[in-house]
Amino acid sequence: MPHRFAVLWEPLGSGSRPVGIALEREGHVEVDVPDEYCIPQIYREPFVVGGPDMTVVKYKPSDAQYFDHVLLDLSRTFAIEEQGSVPTQQRNAMMDLLHHKVLSRWRANHQEHYRQHLRGFKTVKDRHRRYAAAAEAVHAAEPATADRSRTRVAA
């Protein structure tokens, strides 16, 4: 039986980033987000919902709609950016999802932010100009030959 997951994002506008995963399991839903959000790690208590006609409906973890109500509860704090399913209930499914859907995106976003931040420093700009000038000087000093473009390297 496939288990559904959702990627939870911080709702920060243009600077938003993924911060966690909600994963459906047998009999409960696991949520992995940083502790600073104070979100329960396991949802296994029934959801009691009042319908438009004041009928009370109780969703248990074994119900198909239970995961949707957990996401509805989490959507008060997070944006639900992506949903999908994992084929089996593997013990490392949560770690795989965190790695591929959250942490790898953090690393990419952090590197770009770091590059943008460094461009503002005078020393970095000067160093970049100096290295670019040195590279151009070395390239200009090399003799241009027609044979070089046809040279192949065998692996």
Distance (Å, whole) CA 82 – CA 98: 13
Checking if the pLDDT of 68 tops 80, the result is: yes
Q: Mean per-residue pLDDT for 100-109?
A: 76
Interstrand relation of 56-59 and 79-86 (parallel, antiparallel or unpaired):
unpaired
Structure tokens at 44: 């296994």
pLDDT tens digits for range 106-155: 766 665 555 554 555 455 556 556 666 666 766 666 655 544 444 454 54
What's the pTM? 0.65
Distance (Å, whole) CA 122 – CA 94: 43
Checking if the pLDDT of 47 tops 50, the result is: yes
Note the pLDDT of residue 72: 93
Structure tokens at 68: 């949707």
Q: Answer yes or no: are the C-beta atoms of 61 and 44 closer than 8 Å.
A: yes
